[in-house]
Structure 1
Amino acid sequence: EVYQKRWRIEEYHKSIKQNASLNKSPTRTVKTQSNHIFAAIIAYCKLEMMKIKTKLNHFAIKYKLILRANQIAMQELKNM
């Protein structure tokens, strides 16, 4: 029982580092580090909500979001 709870926490930490870019913080000050951590947690929560809604994993959701953003950017470039 304790091991399973601990494992879920480990999965959370791994996911927030990989999927919400927590480990890629370019910040130097405490305030900017705090802001980055807060933004990463918000991003993780949004990914979790999308995961539940779409029944896709984080990687698939991120791929679809990036693909859609690139499509919109290309369309805007074509419209210039």
Structure 2
Amino acid sequence: MVSSDTSLDQAQLTTIYQRRWKVEEHHKPLKQNTSLGKSPTKTPNTQANHFFASILAYTKLEILKLQLGMGHFRLKAQLYLTGLKAMSQELARISPKLPRNIS
């Protein structure tokens, strides 16, 4: 741990670090699991919509986390896996209907 405040002792520095870490525990999943940091928006209206959708997704992940006892990253992985399985099943269902020679 590093600080520019040389008047802090080890206990004070550890307390500050622990408080900051609590904030990071919320920022990381918010940015990575709800794509808050990857907003492709340009206008204030679309940026506000993206922000709202990210906060809503984070809230839903928090509810699932409490109900299922799983972390955000594990929940996200399971949601992706479920989506991939559904897509694979749908592709298998419609594949006989697809033309064989697509140019």
TM interval, shorter chain, is 0.7 to 0.9
User: How far apart in 2 are the matches of 1:18 and 1:74?
Assistant: 25
Alignment gaps of 5+ in structure 1: none
Q: When the two structures are aligned, how many residues end up with a matched partner?
A: 80
Give the 4+ runs in structure 1 shifted more than 4 A: 1-6
Pairwise CA distance, 1:51: 0.6
Q: 1:47 aligns with which of 37, 48, 61?
A: 61
Matches within 5 A, 1:60-75: 60-75=74-89
Matches within 5 A, 1:18-37: 18-37=32-51
User: How far apart in 2 are the matches of 1:54 and 1:47?
Assistant: 10
Larger Rg computed on CA atoms = 2
User: How far apart in 2 are the matches of 1:24 and 1:49?
Assistant: 23
Across the aligned residues of Structure 1 and Structure 2, the Cα RMSD in angstroms comes to 1.6
TM-score norm. by structure 2 comes to: 0.69
Residue in structure 1 matched with residue 3 of structure 2 by the alignment: none
User: How far apart in 2 are the matches of 1:21 and 1:7?
Assistant: 21
Q: Which moved more, 1:21-30 or 1:10-19?
A: 10-19
SS in 1 for 2:41: coil
Return the structure number with greater helix share.
1
Q: Which moved more, 1:44-53 or 1:6-15?
A: 6-15
Q: Which of 1 and 2 has higher RCO (CA within 8 Å, sep 6+)?
A: 1
In structure 1, give the amino acid aligned to 2:59. Answer: C
Q: Deviations over 1:42-80 (max 9, x none)?
A: 000011111111111111100100000010011011111
Q: Give me the identity figure in percent.
A: 49
